[in-house]
Structure 1
Amino acid sequence: MQPDHGPSTATFCSTPRQACSGRSTSLAARNNYYSKRIRQMKRILLLAGAAAIASALPAVAAEGDPIYNYTLIEADIAEADDETVAAWDAQGWVGGDYNRFWWKTEGAFADGDFDEAEVQALYSRYISKYWDAQIGVRYDLEPKGETYGVIGVQGLAPYFFEVDAAAFVSSSGDVSARFEATGELLFTQRLILEPGVSFDLYAEDDPSRQIGSGLSTAEYSAQLRYEFTRELAPYVELAYEKAYGDTADFQRLETGSDDDTIIKVGLRTMF
């Protein structure tokens, strides 16, 4: 309900130091109101994601879907910035054709510490042929503990490109997005080249994390793997990482460069 307005009255401050207390109080109250509303919206988004996840498996049973599961894990090592970096990227699901519980995690470990680490828990719902919508939560363990609401889509685009696109809203109100796409080129039934791209975008600058708004970073990669079996494949991957905009400025100040080329050696397992 909007407050009643009385006759318009001009208020003057007799000295430069004297505050117009009525107007200041009104502005502070309004700011407090909007701050509370924003915090409430964040809680609603996170609770909605958690509720959607909790309802995933009962929905599978209700629709009578057979329950299956899938897991893909990639772990590798690389030399970057004169240090050895161990990294992982894994995801999987359990459920049926229409409703699934997805989990995803990725991160990197160097010099005895985690550089970055995140985990996602998502409810996934079939929306069209080859495409699922996803909603849930993400938690970053490093570089700082942060919780996010997640909404996205995942599926198979034309020309058989696997696509994973998601938007994130953190508990502190930061908005970001991530887009990933990969494809496969078969030299033989066992020797496979997988090109890939990924982009990270942010709604605003975050100098504490050396992140700029807009397109922040991108990675262009080519992974060559040999599948001894469908479940086990060693690989070599060439990755080019590039920063853009203000993120590039932050990185140039920190390291003197806004890009890097990395060779990774790893193992891929699927079951």
Structure 2
Amino acid sequence: MHSINLFAMSTLSASLLVLSGQSFAHEEHHAMSMSEPQTQPVEDILMDHSQHQKMSAAPQVVVEEKQVSPPQHAHSNLDDLDQDHQFDHQVDHAAHLKEHGGQIYQQTTLESKWLRNDNAQGQGALKSELETRIGTDENKIFIKVHADKAESQQAEYDAKLLYSRNVADFWDVQAGIRYRNDPNREIDQNQVDAVLGLHGMAAYFFETNAYVYIGQDRQVSFNLETERDLLLTQKLIIQPYLDMNIVLSDDSNYAKKTGLNSVQVGLETRYEINKKVMPFMDVAYGYNKGVQETAWQKSSSSENAWFYGAGMRFKF
């Protein structure tokens, strides 16, 4: 029994020694791990740094590739935007022209009047005029036809076709041709002249036409027509006017005397029933220098005369 107790005590003592040795070793290892510095070999640090550079450089390359090569449809989108902008600009320009004189318009005036000559035993003449203009404010075409039918004579007429181009405020330059027909002549019944002139509004609102005519046989002449409306009421209007012809040269078979060849100053009084129908009365004083003597006509002296009559004007 005593031996058993000794064995048990020795066994317990051995167990305590083993347990105390393990605890001491664990505390010593823990002390050593806390006291020793946490160092890493230099080679491992360099390897880690180089790998970090490679890893950090890789995404930069991807970003640069995305910046260098944009999407392929970007150019097509820019072209579409540019075409849309040009189309909008054209639409705006067309609308601006339409609102500010770019539209095409047409106007026709037809006038016919009977005038009596006070110095020719009451003989009269029927005068008719047709004027049509078509175009824009900048470019127009004028067609003018004038016919005279004196008593006991056949009607003579002339027709002009003119291109009109706006060059300044209220002024157009016109150029074209004039065709003349006089069946009362034995020869040279049909003639063609070149026309160059101005059409517009002179100072103090005088509507003015000034033309130079150049034809065969050195026929050169200048014509000036000017008129102005003076409103007595909204419908009753008086219109003073001037019609003057200057012959610069004429070697034709029916030559006119050079210089101031004819002039007519008149006063027209009209009543506008509306803007399309306008009856009027006309009183004028005229001067004519006469014609030269040629193989086909006798020379005539100058004459003065009063003219008076009435007529009708239509606009449409």
Whether TM exceeds 0.5 here: the answer is yes
Which residue among 92, 99, 104 is the counterpart of 1:67? 104
Q: What SS does the aligned partner of 1:209 have?
A: coil
State yes or no: 1:219 paired with 2:241: no
TM-score of the superposition, structure 2-length normalised?
0.60
> Which residue is equivalent to 1:194?
239
- Is this contact kept in 2: 1:107–1:114, CA < 8 A? no
What is aligned with 1:267? 312
> For residues 204 and 280 of structure 2, what CA distance do their matches in structure 1 show?
23
Deviations 1:81-121 (A, max 9, x none): 24331111221201111111101111211336435310000
Residue 166 of structure 1 deviates from its aligned partner by: 0.5
Question: 1:14-57 CA deviation, whole Å, 9 max, x = no partner?
Answer: xxxxxxxxxxxxxxxxxxxxxxxxxxxxxxxxxxxxxxxxxxxx
Equivalent residues, number: 206
Q: Which amino acid aligns with 2:241?
A: G
The structural deviation recorded for 1:125 is: 0.4
Summarize the alignment of residues 216-255 of structure 1 with structure 2, pairs less than 5 Å apart. Answer: 216-244=261-289, 247=290, 254=300
Q: 1:151 to 1:145 in 2, by over 3 A?
A: same
AA aligned opposite 1:233: M
Matched, 1:164 2:201: no
Give the Cα separation in 1 of the matches to 2:180 and 2:250: 18
Letter in 2 for 1:79: R
**One-letter amino acid of the structure 2 residue matched with residue 152 of structure 1:** G
Match of 1:128 among 152, 162, 168: 168
So what's the TM-score if we normalise by structure 1? 0.70
Deviation at 1:262, TM superposition (A): 0.8
Q: Which structure has the highest strand share of the two? A: 1
Residues 22-171 of structure 1 mapped to structure 2, 5 A cutoff? 65-80=102-117, 81=120, 82-111=122-151, 113-142=153-182, 144-171=189-216
For structure 1, list consecutive stretches of 5 or more residues without a partner in the other structure: 1-62
Note the alpha carbon deviations across 1:128-174, whole angstroms, 9 max, x for none. Answer: 01010000000011263110000000000111000000001113331
Specify the structure having the higher radius of gyration (Cα). 2
> Percent identity of the aligned residues?
26
Contact 2:264–2:287 (Cα < 8 Å) also in 1:
yes
Deviation at 1:257, TM superposition (A): 5.7
Cα pair distance change 1:120/1:249, threshold 3 Å: closer
1:198 shift after superposition: 1.2
| Code of the aligned partner of 1:160 | F
Larger mean Cα displacement after TM superposition, 106-115 or 162-171: 106-115
CA distance in 2, matches of 1:174, 1:99: 29
Q: CA RMSD for the aligned pairs?
A: 2.4
Contact 1:249 1:258 in 2 (8 A): no
